Structure 1
Amino acid sequence: MSTSPHAPAAAAPPGNASRAPRAFGRSHTDDLMSFLAASPSPYHAVANAAERLEKAGFRQVAETDAWDGTSGGKYVLRGGAIVAWYVPEGADPHTPFRIVGAHTDSPNLRVKPRPDTGAHGWRQIAVEIYGGPLLNSWLDRDLGLSGRLSLRDGSTRLVNVDRPLLRVPQLAIHLDRSVSAEGLKLDKQRHLQPVWGLGDDVRDGDLIAFLEQELGLASGDVTGWDLMTHSVEPPAYLGRDKDLVAGPRMDNLLSVHSATAALAAVATSGAALSYIPVLAAFDHEENGSQSDTGADGPLLGSVLERSVFARGGSYEDRARAFAGTVCLSSDTGHAVHPNYAERHDPTHHPRANGGPILKVNVNNRYATDGSGRAIFAAACEKADVPFQSFVSNNAMPCGTTIGPITAARHGIKTVDIGAAILSMHSVRELCGADDPFLLANALVAFLEG
């Protein structure tokens, strides 16, 4: 293991958990980079997660079908969300779950219902701001276009134009001398509309016609769309010793990838399991989680309940299973920033390659409490993985995650964790190269119970 020479030591939980060999090393980070590049939208992310699970023996089940109580790995896809679970042989209806929760969406620029616009000889695409992106990071980037197309026959198709197609050009400093003194000020409506060509004959339907041609569809086949922009610059190792990774959508595909790998590893390990391991990767975390694919919707609860009932369980079995269930809400958090250290709590400075972070907020912006900390500490000790603690500076507002939502909606113990990164919500974020596989190894130990 290559870690920062100043990385804090793992906090030791009470007792002596037996250590297990790590399931992942640096090759996991290589695979993360491939996953990020292949997942420009939530729809691509869940498709890629499903493909990895299929290779581990999981099979898709439809929500409209009757479910059986057979053992093995299963998953449900709904839009940009996936819930996958593995039922061990002989699992009782009241067997509790071990869940890793994450989210598939990231802040970006999303295409409006009438995409085609332009002015002064420039053809542009009308976009809406999704979530809370660092707007300046989207300027002067070569952008592709990806997402989901809904077709006239009721089917959907994924689309990924992964080449320089769009660009949001910044105003030259000669035309705005105040930038140097007052900083960049962007109007979300006027200044973020990307250009994609030249011409004065802007017509409704140009963008969709272009995408129909890209996919070999007939004119008029596309009747609906969920489209978004992404940077076409691929992920890369960074630094003198290549001990950092720069890439898009780490918040929160880093967790989705690690959780997918951990669930597949546990399902194929042959280990005796006393819990049912679960991956729940939701959409729409960046705008409040209130959707049919968000953590504040019924998807997770519905899947868990149907799993209990399919194994012959009653409502009493469901209550017993939920009472013993634990969820790790895995989302990226803030590494200490070398240029803005005063923005962090002075006694909590998570470092890159220092292992996953345990997030705490006594006002329940995170769901972690002392007993949850002990559960995560035991998993990290078993995996021989160091972990760090994160608390916000008291003078700064604290962000939140799907953790408190999951705990409150389903009444299950939830612990907030994640990997420490810089440049959160930028078009391109930064993490330690070892932290993805350290997180994945901790998740394996947690899912095994």
Structure 2
Amino acid sequence: MSSAAIKHINDLSAFVAASPSSFHAAAEAARRLDEAGFTALCESESWDLGAGGHYVLRDGAIIAWVQPAAAVSTTGFHILGSHTDSPSFKLKPKPTIGANGWLQAGVEVYGGPLLNSWLDRELVLAGRLVLLDGTVVLARTAPMLRFPQLAIHLDRGVNDGLKLDTQTHMNPVWGIGDPAEADVLAVLAESAGVDAAQIGGYDVVVADAQSGEVFGGSNEFFASGRLDNLSSMHASLVALLEHAETRSGDHTAVLAAFDHEEIGSASRSGASGPFLQDVLMRIGHGLGADAQDRTRAYADSVCLSADAGHSVHPNYAGRHDPANHPLLGAGPLLKINANQRYATDGVGAALFARLCAQANVPYQEFVSNNQMPCGSTIGPLTATRLGIRTLDVGIPLLSMHSARELCGVEDPLRLAKISAAFFAA
């Protein structure tokens, strides 16, 4: 295993650990951009788009960009899109519940998690708290929750098929006591150093507390939570920070990390919302672009939609397309679907082949078994909203949507190298 791959995977592990919620992921990206000298912009203020990198936060999403020195009103964009959220559980209103001497947290399923993978793990609560005066603070507890599985002695048929009811079985325990005399929000407030009585609203999810781990006979595997899709967000961030030092290429390099992809992207900070279009229009406005200039810029633009995909599963190979068996460690995926659930077309496929050749990394193609419904990404949404040519890529995973997913150690660095080549093109 190369030392560069290990260095990158260790940084990815640190990024995931710092990002238990979409709000933390956007904040960690902002922190790294600040360190690199990027300028934070506020959407409600006018923008001075001088030289250097810039970024703007919108809730749990972030968009950052670097313009070429010779940018004009028709300069196109090379956009690397990803998402900040992962399947999980979200804290409900009146979240302190329990019975029979136990304290539990009332949670709602967020996205499509593999429920059984969340059992018997140490978990944290993380997200944003909004105080009555409008102040927003990020909160993250120490490990405090667990979804306890019923012992086999009390369910002798459990190994013949586990059925979990999301309302009755998926409320994690967090203490012993009387729910009338306890408050899970008080624990959250204490972690953020605020008064629980001042909390007016919150967006808080459950996250796995375990850190990432490299393992395998040759240390070829990396296991971690939230690889879907922090692996792509991290790769784009690493590439943009590298690009900011060179500012090569003829296009404006854009990192767009959206929230709410796992629940359909229909929000103000999701890919179906106006966030990216708003930012691109303001960048163009700063260069004096009119409506025709913007259309010309979009026609000269490309979006690389980066989201994790599936490796062939050794025990369920029949669930995959028989001619296309992507494997962990054999390179990132070019994701293809005839019904445009992925936005890749022939032109995009050729572009990806060129980028991989320039970056000197292998790649694999992914297509679904005809009998397996295909998922989707932000790619088709971005192509539809803006008319920008889009292709779908990502690293292969096993156990996608598990509390702890699995990738090959070499693949995240390869995706970062492709991303850097894309920004420089």
* TM-score, structure 1 normalization: 0.92
1:261 aligns with 2:238: yes
In 1, distance between residues paired with 2:202 and 2:345? 42
Match of 2:151 in 1: 172
Query: Where does residue 46 of structure 2 map in the other structure?
Result: 66
What CA distance in whole angstroms lies between the structure 1 residues aligned with 2:196 and 2:142? 22
In 2: Cα distance, 1:446 partner to 1:419 partner: 16
Do structure 1's residue 222 and structure 2's residue 199 form an aligned pair? Answer: yes
Give CA deviations for 1:388-427 in whole Å, capped at 9, x if unaligned: 1000011111111111111001110000000001000000
Pick from 355, 366, 371 the counterpart of residue 395 of structure 1.
371
Match of 1:232 in 2: 209
Q: Which residue in the other structure is 1:192 paired with?
A: 170
Q: Report if aligned partners of 1:212, 1:221 keep a CA contact under 8 Å in 2.
A: no
Q: Note the 1:89-100 alignment, pairs <5 A.
A: 89-100=69-80
Of the candidates 151, 167, 175, which is equivalent to residue 131 of structure 2? 151
In 2: Cα distance, 1:413 partner to 1:339 partner:
36
CA shift digits 1:229-262 (9 cap, x unpaired)? 1111110101121111000000000000000010
Pair 1:388–1:2, CA change in 2 (3 A): farther
Listed as ranges, the matches of 1:402-421 within 5 Å are 402-421=378-397
Report SS of the residue matched to 1:162: coil
Give the equivalent residue in structure 1 for 2:416.
440
- The answer to whether the 8 A contact 1:114-1:204 is kept is no
Equivalent-residue separation in structure 2 for 1:326 and 1:399 (angstroms): 22
Partner of 2:37: 57
Correspondence 1:266-305 to 2 at 5 A: 266-271=243-248, 273-305=249-281
- Give the Cα separation in 2 of the matches to 1:233 and 1:338: 25
Q: Distance in 1 between matches of 2:319 and 2:104?
A: 38
1:132 maps to which residue? 112
Matching residue of 1:251: 228
| Number of the residue aligned with 1:241 | 218
In structure 2, how many angstroms separate the alpha carbons of the residues matched to 1:417 and 1:204? 50
The letter of the residue matching 2:330 is G
Native 8 Å contact 1:96 1:321 kept in 2: yes
1:113 has 2:93 as partner:
yes
How big is the shift at 1:172?
1.2
Q: What residue ranges of structure 2 are gaps of 5+ in the alignment?
A: none
SS at the partner of 1:297?
Answer: coil
Tell me the equivalent position of 2:23.
43
Which letter does structure 1 place at the counterpart of 2:250?
S
Q: Distance in 2 between matches of 1:204 and 1:323?
A: 60
Aligned to 1:21: none
CA offsets, 1:90-112, max 9 Å, x none?
A: 21111000000000000001110
**Quick one: which amino acid aligns to residue 231 of structure 1?**
D
Query: Structure 1: where are the runs of 5+ without partners?
Result: 4-23
- 1:84/1:205 Cα in 2 relative to 1: closer, same or farther (>3 Å)? farther
Which runs of 4 or more aligned residues in structure 1 lie more than 4 Å from their structure 2 counterparts after TM superposition? none
Deviation larger for 432-441 or 43-52:
43-52
Superposition RMSD on alpha carbons, in Å? 1.4
SS in 1 for 2:164: coil
In structure 2, what is the Cα distance between the partners aligned to 1:174 and 1:190? 20
Residues 27-38 of structure 1 aligned to structure 2 (within 5 Å):
27-38=7-18
**By how many angstroms is 1:205 displaced?**
6.8
The one-letter code matched in structure 1 to 2:147 is: V
* 8 Å contact kept, 1:148–1:226: yes
SS at match of 2:180: coil
Aligned partners of 2:181 and 2:171: how far apart in 1? 16
TM-score by length of 2: 0.98
